Amino acid sequence: MILNYLAYGVAAWVFLWGLYGIVTSKNLVHQVVCLAILQTSTYVLLLAIGFKVGGTAPIFADIPVGAPVVDPLVQALMLTDVVVEGTVMALLLSMVVKANEVAGTVDPEELRIMMG
Amino acid sequence: MSITTYIPLPIAIPLVVAAFLAFTGKWIGRRACDTLAIACAAGNLFLTLAILRGVWSQPYVYWFGNWWPRPGGVALGICFSIDAIGASLALLTSILTTAGLVFSWWIFEETENHFQPLMLIFMAAMCGFSYTGDLFNLFVFFELMSVSAFALCGLKTVEPAPLQGAYNFAIVNTVGAFMIVIGIGLLYARTGALNLAQVGRSLGSTRADSLVLLAFLLIAVGYLTKAAIVPFHFWLADAHAVAPSPVCVLFSGVMVELGIYAVARIYWTIFSGPLAAHVGALREILLLLAALCAVVGALMCFAEHHLKRLLAFSTISHAGLTLAGVGLLTSKALGGFVIYVLSHGAIKGGLFLCAGIVAHRLKRIGEDHLHGRGRGMWFTAALFILGAFGLAGILPFGTLLGESMISDAARDFQQGWFQYVFVFAEILTAGAVLRASFRIFFGWGDPAPTDESSRVEEGPETSEPHNKTPITMLFPAAALVVLGIAICFWPQLRSTADGAAQTFVNQPGYEDMVLDNTSMAVPAKPPEESLAGSILRSSIAGSLALALALGSVFRKRLPALSFTRSLEMGNRALRTLHSGHPGDYVAWQSLGTAAIGGLFAWFLR
Amino acid sequence: MSGRTRTILFLISAAGLAAVFAWGLRNLPPMGDYRGPYGYVLTRVAVYERHATDTVNAINYDYRGFDTLGEEFILFASVLGVLLLFRPGGREDKSKKRVQLEDALPVSDTLRVGMQAMAATMIVFGVYIAVHGQLTPGGGFQGGVILATVPLVVYLSGNVKTFEAIVSNPLTTLAECGGAGGYGIIGLLALLGGAHFLTNFVPLGKTGDVFSSGTIAVISVTVGIEVAGGFLVLMQSYLREIIEERLQEGR
């Protein structure tokens, strides 16, 4: 029974660790990578939701239509997610690089110019 | 051309034009880029207006790729289900984008023409967000809106402050976006569908169990992060302080409100059936959240001296008020929500453009540095003061009508205490804007106390000084404030809004319309209630705001007025919480999610 | 807040979140059989309706093609954002000579020979993946990324002139913008025939052929071009930015 829900537990676990990383980070690059880790928890969850025991890939080039396959829709959702994540990380990392160039630091503690 | 041909155009055309501008920007020069972008935004204005007229009485469903739903109500494709409320939000988006692009004619000399395509993409994303009827499509447009917003926010990269603002914005919103994805996954696991109507029909009216509640929690928290509701609001002030003024117009005018619209949308298409048994408890939780947001926003607003941060906190406060419009979970309040959003969007847009004019002419944005330097800018001063009274919701402004509908609905459900939250928020936010205008444009009283954030100076957006405000800046600001007033005079606006809201909340009718291609029943327009109570409350709020502003400015004359100084310095603890550190913001986000989750688990099981 | 307070605050909320997750996730259907009509209907009909054997790409580029349009523009907007952030001007010394990429390139013989061999293989592989999107796993995004790394491999093999020529060529920007705009235009073309946006109007061909499934193949190739262009533009911005920074520190 535990195996049925293990994947969901892993997703929640990774999510919480990603959040912990973001909150306690002392380096902006580290923070962005923790955000990426946070996203992998969504992938684990989506793919676990779409899994079918005994199913194979939903490519019908060599199997007949009607054979048991895993859910193609969550894979399509995940592809969208991957592209979104990659691009948001690119933008965030370029902000970090620019911040390093302009302010000379990547420590969020020292970068807090606006407060209150 | 029938409405069927118009519908994808407000999204497709700006995207294609943006791609074209990004490529040819180097060669066709600044003015041609600007003209093309303004023409595209104006074209969107007319398209969204035509769509609004087409869906005024009967919502319309448009299936992309000709993928009509299968018999049995299985939707394979993506649909746009456009009703009057969504269409009016798209129209507001187009109006504000056109105003912003016209305003930016004389500023931003060195962006290599990447600014205009990003604004067009932003506009297309927000229009698509208001129209869509599919859960994942809502998320995709949410992300498109967010990414263009992050890019636009960090436009002025010469100082470190814009990077801090854009980075905090990006981190907090992206964490919210991931929560939305998890929520969507959970709903898909339960129902096997992504179309809003199909998910709603599949969940039916079976009492919500913990999975459905968790999905609601995650999706709502994600969208409320965009809507800058306390405690997910910390990013907004940082982002607004550094984003250029035309971009702030879009952020405060419509992007934040779209987050609340999304919560209303998913509630009324998916969750109103499963949560029907607990409507009262949910109503109280949402109202409490709204009140907290309005009060914290108002207190911080009065304590700010950086003009744009001040306006940002007033947006947070008013976002709390509009959340009440949705949180009362009834059609009358939802009608009030629409009217309030439309008029507040126009007024706040006008105020941000005025702040942009001040920054452009006077090269500074802190109230203390600007003391008395605005003398002679009488037109901008008039717009600023008018806008302040618009925030207070007095008579000729549309915000009055919105507030009256929400307050009436609150009284219907024995939550009449919320009216006083309205008054409190209006006094403080309008008072803050009035105080700033008295100091800047008239030079009354002593200079404002300096605080940390007002030391963040706005780098000049152009290199040469201007001694006269160009008409391309004055005209959009004036037009937006006038629009905020004109909305009030639309005949029978409150019954129309209530009727449109009744269509919005009709879940069974919506499902049949989308999946079985029937028409929705046209609701009878209810009679309008008296405005007398609202006029009284808003007049009191307006006069008290004026008194508070005058009292703050002239506080040295009367020792009794010294309390205004502590109001202006703000609560020390509250100010320290807004620390600028992204880790703090995400920590509060997690705490808020856990707390609201706990409330749901206890009261809604 | 000090770091310590922040961590304590977060640990409390994490405990709460973990409890909320456990309470909610236990009602998920157990892993191993997915529920619901959407996936089942699609696996039955996609091959017949669209002559596409790869159901995932049929969903991505046809059934839910509108989502992919949005996603492609997310990539486009990010690239624009990075270009905006890294734009020249606003630097202190604009008069500095424009950095040459040769200035910071380490090359060893193994790398040079190996990368040249790889570059050719990767071009073929990338095109194969992008063009066969409707038949096998792969498609536009994946193929585009593989193609985008080809100039990088060329750069690593020491052939800097070719790399410069490829990424500075206006064709790269044309690829990126044309790919993005092209997707929108394919959708709009469907409107001309009176159908709804993004309808598949190209003849469907025979299942299993390379040129089958109508607009799915066309959109897949368009997306591949856009992704390749976008990543190349990104790579160029990053490389210039970082090399300039290193040189400023070094001198």
Q: What is the pLDDT of residue B571?
A: 79
Q: Which two tokens stand for residue B388?
A: 């302040």
Percent of chain B with pLDDT over 70: 97
- Does C187 fall in a domain? yes
Report the mean per-residue pLDDT for chain A.
89
pLDDT at B63 > cutoff 50? yes
- What range does the domain containing C235 cover? 36-90+99-250
pLDDT level of residue C49 (50, 70, 90 thresholds): confident
Q: What share of chain B is helix, strand, coil (3-state, %, to 5)?
A: 75, 0, 25
**A88-106 pLDDT tens trace:** 999 999 999 888 888 888 8
Across the interface, of B178, B182, B579, the residue whose CB is closest to A112 is B579
Average of per-residue pLDDT across B388-400: 89
Parts of chain A with a pLDDT under 50: none
Helices B135-153, B115-131: inter-axial angle, 10-degree rounding: 160
- Mean pLDDT along residues B542-547: 91
pLDDT at res. A65: 84
> DSSP characters for C152-207?
HHHHHTT-HHHHHHHHHSHHHHHHHHHHHHHHHHHHHHHHHTTS-TT---S----T
Type and span of the H or E element at B61: strand B60-63
DSSP state of B58: S
Q: Is some CB atom of chain C closer than 8 A to the CB atom of A110? A: no
Window 52-71 of B: residues touching C by CB (8 A cutoff) are 62-67, 70
Q: Is the pLDDT at C222 greater than 80, yes or no?
A: yes
Select the residue from A39, A62, A87 to test the C interface by mutation, using most C Cβ atoms within 10 A.
A87
Give the residue from chain C lying closest to A48, CA to CA: C31
Residue C88, pLDDT > 80, answer no
In this complex, do A61 and C135 lie within 8 Å of one another by their Cβ atoms? yes
How does residue B329 score in pLDDT terms, banded at 50, 70 and 90?
A: very high
One-letter amino acid of B272? S
Q: Is B153 exposed, middle or buried (0-12, 13-18, 19+ CB in 10 A)?
A: buried
C4 part of a folded domain: no
**Distance in Å, alpha carbon of B602 to nearest chain C alpha carbon:** 11
Query: What's the rounded Cα separation, in Å, for the pair C8 and A90?
Result: 31
**Cβ–Cβ of B586/A103 closer than 8 Å?**
no
Domain residue ranges in chain B: 280-449+474-489+530-570
pLDDT tens digits, one per residue of B416-436: 899 999 999 999 999 999 999
- Chain A interface includes B118 (CB < 8 A): no
A98 touches C at CB < 8 Å: yes
Q: Is A63 on the interface with C (CB under 8 A)?
A: no
Alpha-carbon distance C170 to nearest alpha carbon in chain A (angstroms) = 22
Residues from chain C that touch A76, judged by Cβ atoms under 8 A, are 56, 59-60, 64
C-alpha–C-alpha distance, residues B362 and B372, integer Å: 11
Q: Which residues of C touch B22 (CB under 8 A)?
A: 76, 80, 173, 176-177
Which H or E run contains B87?
A: helix B84-103
pLDDT at B390 over 60: yes
The shortest C-alpha distance from A95 to chain C (Å) reads 7
C31: in domain: no
Whether the per-residue pLDDT at B271 is higher than 90: the answer is yes
- Whether the per-residue pLDDT at C63 is higher than 50: the answer is yes
**Residue in B with minimal Cα distance to A107:** B581
CB contact under 8 A, A79 and C21: no
0.90 exceeded by the pTM?
yes
The confidence score (pLDDT) of residue B479 equals: 94
Q: pLDDT digits over B175-216, tens only?
A: 999 999 999 999 999 998 999 999 999 998 888 899 999 999
Mean pLDDT of B515-526: 85
Asked if residue C80 lies in contact with residue B113, where contact means CB atoms within 8 angstroms, the answer is: no
pLDDT at site C95: 40
Which one, of B8, B46, B21, B115, lies nearest residue C185 by Cα? B8
Which chains neighbour C (Cβ–Cβ under 8 Å, 3 or more pairs)?
A, B
Instruction: Provide the percentage of residues in chain B whose pLDDT is more than 90.
Output: 62
When mean pLDDT is compared across B147-151, B218-222, B355-359, B590-594, the lowest value belongs to B355-359
Residue B374 Cα distances to B116, B303, B358, B365, C6, angstroms: 30, 21, 8, 11, 42
The pLDDT value given to residue B454 = 62
B164:A45 CB<8 A: no
Chain B residues in contact with A78 (beta carbon < 8 A): none
CA Rg, chain B, in Å? Answer: 23
Give the pLDDT of residue B456: 63
User: In this predicted model, what pLDDT tens digit does every residue of B447-471 receive, in sequence order?
Assistant: 777 766 666 655 555 555 567 788 8
| Interface contact C34-A66, CB threshold 8 A | no
Report pLDDT for B567. Answer: 81
CA angle (B287, B290, B296) in 5-degree steps: 140
In angstroms, the separation between the Cα of residue A34 and the nearest Cα of chain B is: 10
Mean pLDDT (chain C, rounded): 84
DSSP track, B198-238:
HHHHHHTTSPP-HHHHHHHHHHHHHHHHHTT-TTS-HHHHH
Cis amide prior to B8 (ω within 30 degrees) = no
Least confident segment among C95-104, C120-129, C205-214: C95-104
User: What is the average pLDDT score of chain B?
Assistant: 90
Does C94 score more than 50 pLDDT?
no
pLDDT of residue C101: 56
Average pLDDT over residues B370-387: 88
Pairing outcome for strands B79-82 and B60-63: antiparallel
| A contacts of B193 (beta carbons < 8 Å) | none
Residues of A in contact with C17 (CB under 8 A): 16, 19
Cβ–Cβ contact A80 with C under 8 A = yes
| pLDDT given for residue B464 in this prediction | 58
Q: How many CB atoms lie within 10 A of CB A104?
A: 10
Q: Nearest chain A Cα to B453, which residue? A: A114
| Interface predicted TM-score of the whole assembly (ipTM), two decimals | 0.95
Residue C173: its chain B contacts at CB < 8 A?
Answer: 22-23
* Per-residue confidence band for C92, with pLDDT thresholds at 50, 70 and 90: very low
Report the alpha-carbon distance of residue A73 to residue B198 in Å, rounded.
16
Which phi-psi region, left, alpha or beta, contains residue C17 (left: φ > 0; alpha: ψ -120 to 50)? alpha
- Average pLDDT value for residue range B306-332: 93
Give CA torsion, residues B418, B421, B426, B431, to 10 deg: 170
Tell me the pLDDT band of C7, cut-offs 50, 70 and 90: very high
Strand partners, A59: C54
Say what the pLDDT of residue C96 is: 44
Backbone angles phi, psi at B545, to 5 degrees: -65, -45
Q: How confident is the model over C99-125, as a mean pLDDT?
A: 76
If pLDDT is split at 50, 70 and 90, which confidence band does C67 have? Answer: very high
Provide the CATH topology of domain A2-103.
Helix Hairpins (1.10.287)
Selecting from B165, B171, B586 the residue whose C-beta is nearest the C-beta of A114 gives B165
Q: Residue C49's closest chain B neighbor by CA?
A: B67
Q: Which residues pair with B452 in a beta bridge?
A: none
Write the DSSP assignment of B550-584 as a string of letters.
HHHHTGGG-GGGGHHHHHHH--HHHHHH--S-HHH
Give B173: exposed, middle or buried? Use CB within 10 Å, 0-12, 13-18, 19+: buried
Asked if residue C167 belongs to a domain, the reply is: yes
| Residues C82, A57: C-beta atoms closer than 8 Å | no
| pLDDT above 80: residue B20 | yes
Per-residue model confidence (pLDDT) at position C105: 61
DSSP helix/strand/coil, B444: coil
Question: Which among B334, B303, B299 has a CA at the least distance from the CA of B316?
Answer: B299
B19:C80 CB<8 A: no
